Structure 1
């Protein structure tokens, strides 16, 4: 409960919009499995990385920007394979677009999960465009460096 209050206060202070805070919270808590975008991203990641292991961590990632180029933040939650909550985080990304904040949150989440010892993850995100960017290689894309960092983390052994 303390983490939830802390996370809400960070969201409120940074984003400045209670509507975005509530959408982000309810999206993480209740909408993950029912939202078609999330299911599409999960299926895409499983297609790209069809690894099935025991001891898989479940990573829920989201980001939010106030405007298409505005103050942005992101965060993530990691659960073990029994559903036990392990950690959560929030990061201030600065000014970014909605695509960049979600990519940044995914990259930070993957780094933290790796450092926490999880080598195999099931990732849930509403980042449909980002998943297609991660699955293809386009060195001329404006955010290629960030996309490449995510690909490197996903392919680590």
Structure 2
């Protein structure tokens, strides 16, 4: 009987955590990675505690303008109440304009963050995204992108 109760409790907990991720979330992500920038951010529920995140944004630093598109696969775990933490991995592409020197770049990224899901369809997050770029002129090292996100869930 204890085994059956344990299995029912585990299934209930998994079902509850699956419901903690909304089907869609759209908003902004504002942070600093070699200059201030913002991103339009979209999250899409996949399965149980997994989702995809796509961010399209720009960076402005030291006379260099850069645009990038990043896609991440994330695992979301509940902490308590409306709090969750998440970890993810992915990659992206971008372009930069540095006056005489411009071009494209690719990157791989990780993601680690915490978020709070309000009772209204709003979620706020703080995350850290290490990005390893591949281009000798603009993004050829490890950068740390720390950002605050605000998204509407639907």
Q: Normalising by the residue count of structure 2, what TM-score does the alignment of the two structures yield?
A: 0.30
Structure with higher helix content: 1
Q: Normalising by the residue count of structure 1, what TM-score does the alignment of the two structures yield?
A: 0.29
Structure with higher strand content: 2
Structure label with greater radius of gyration: 2
